[in-house]
Amino acid sequence: MEILKFIKMQGAGNNFVVFEDMEVKHNDLGTLAKKLCDRNFGIGGDGILVVRRSKIADIQMIIINSDGSYAGMCGNGIRCFAKYVYENNIVRKSEFTVETGDGIKVCHLFIEDNKVKAVKINMGRESFNPKFIPALGEEEIIKKDISANGKSYNITSLLLGVPHTVLLTEDGGFKVEEGAAIETHELFPQGTNVNFCRVVNRGEIKVNTWERGAGPTLACGTGCCSSVVVCNKLNLVDKSVKVMAPGGILTIEITDDGIMMTGPAENVFKGEIAV
């Protein structure tokens, strides 16, 4: 039995168990994630973030959802990860690269008194190509009507690190739990995250996310980015948008260099657990 040292962290309410595995001792990360993320019998979290060495970037981040499934990328998670590796002297630079399942991401840290107060991430670019989401069919899914669980939805889907589907709504128009039926819709062979988005004005939106493999979350970084991309594509918002999620506020900017996400990352507590 091993004693695993960890830090519980959160970014806009999206919470993670973060630990180092430089020697790759843990091969079954799916089982470990389910144990650690159990809110009754474990630590509790939306997923785990594993710190490993990288041959192609400054450091590598592995993300496993609370249900044990692998995630290529997580916007709130990578901000927490960046804070962790800086404050634990693993990568001691204010700007560095992270290897993820969605390629190499560049992190820019805002530091005060030797502590990371916020992190800006270049999230890369989106793709509406259904082959990359992946989704069935050859046409882009833009304002497409579907039926799920006996109800009709108008959706737009894309890949931004992970699959995302965005629905425009008014307050109270949908319950976030309805995302479960859309997540597993036959259109998406590998499932999809689902974002219920309300446009407040051209510079501000509200987003509630049903996260694939985790369920309702207080915030989803890639989901907030995807919602801004979709709303901008439909000419509903500008290129710099404040996104209000239940757990906090993120700033998303669409630039020539990629989609930039800026937001907080905080330590909740640290501890040890037998695994």
262 is in an annotated binding site: no
CA distance 54 to 97: 10
pLDDT band at 64 (very low <50, low <70, confident <90, very high): very high
Query: Annotated binding residue at 76?
Result: yes
**Amino acid 213: pLDDT:** 87
Query: What proportion of the chain, given as a percentage, has pLDDT over 70?
Result: 100
Find out whether 193 is annotated in a ligand binding site.
Answer: yes
CB 166 within 8 A of CB 199: no
Q: Does the annotation flag 125 for ligand binding?
A: no
Mean pLDDT of the chain: 96
Helices 221-233 and 75-87 sit at what angle, rounded to 10 degrees? 130
Radius of gyration for the alpha carbons in the chain, expressed in angstroms and rounded: 18
* Cβ–Cβ < 8 Å for 36, 274: no
Residue 173 has what pLDDT? 79
Residues 275 and 260: their CA atoms lie apart, in Å, by 37
Residues with active-site annotation: 74, 220
For position 216, what pLDDT does the model report? Answer: 94
CA distance 46 to 135: 25
Q: Is the confidence at residue 94, as pLDDT, over 80? A: yes
Q: How far is the C-alpha of 248 from the C-alpha of 76, rounded, in Å?
A: 11
pLDDT in tens, 220-233: 999 999 999 999 99
Q: Is 222 annotated as a binding residue?
A: yes
pLDDT above 90 (res 9)? yes
- Confidence at residue 268, expressed as pLDDT on a 0 to 100 scale: 98
Q: In 3D, which of 25, 73, 16 has the Cα closest to residue 49?
A: 16
**pLDDT value at position 1?**
82
Where would I find the beta strands (DSSP E) of 29-175? 47-52, 59-65, 70-71, 95-100, 103-112, 115-122, 144-148, 151-160, 162-168
Residue 65, annotated ligand binder? Answer: yes
Q: Which domains does the chain have, with CATH numbers?
A: 3-121+262-274 (3.10.310.10), 144-260 (3.10.310.10)
Q: How far apart are CA 164 and CA 51, in angstroms?
A: 25
Closest of 235, 13, 221 to residue 122, by C-alpha: 221
- Sorted by sequence, the CB contacts under 8 Å of residue 21 that are 6+ apart come out as 50, 51, 52
Any binding-site annotation on 211?
yes
Q: Which of 164, 159, 102 is nearest to 129 (CA)?
A: 159
- Give the pLDDT confidence score for residue 251 in this predicted structure: 98
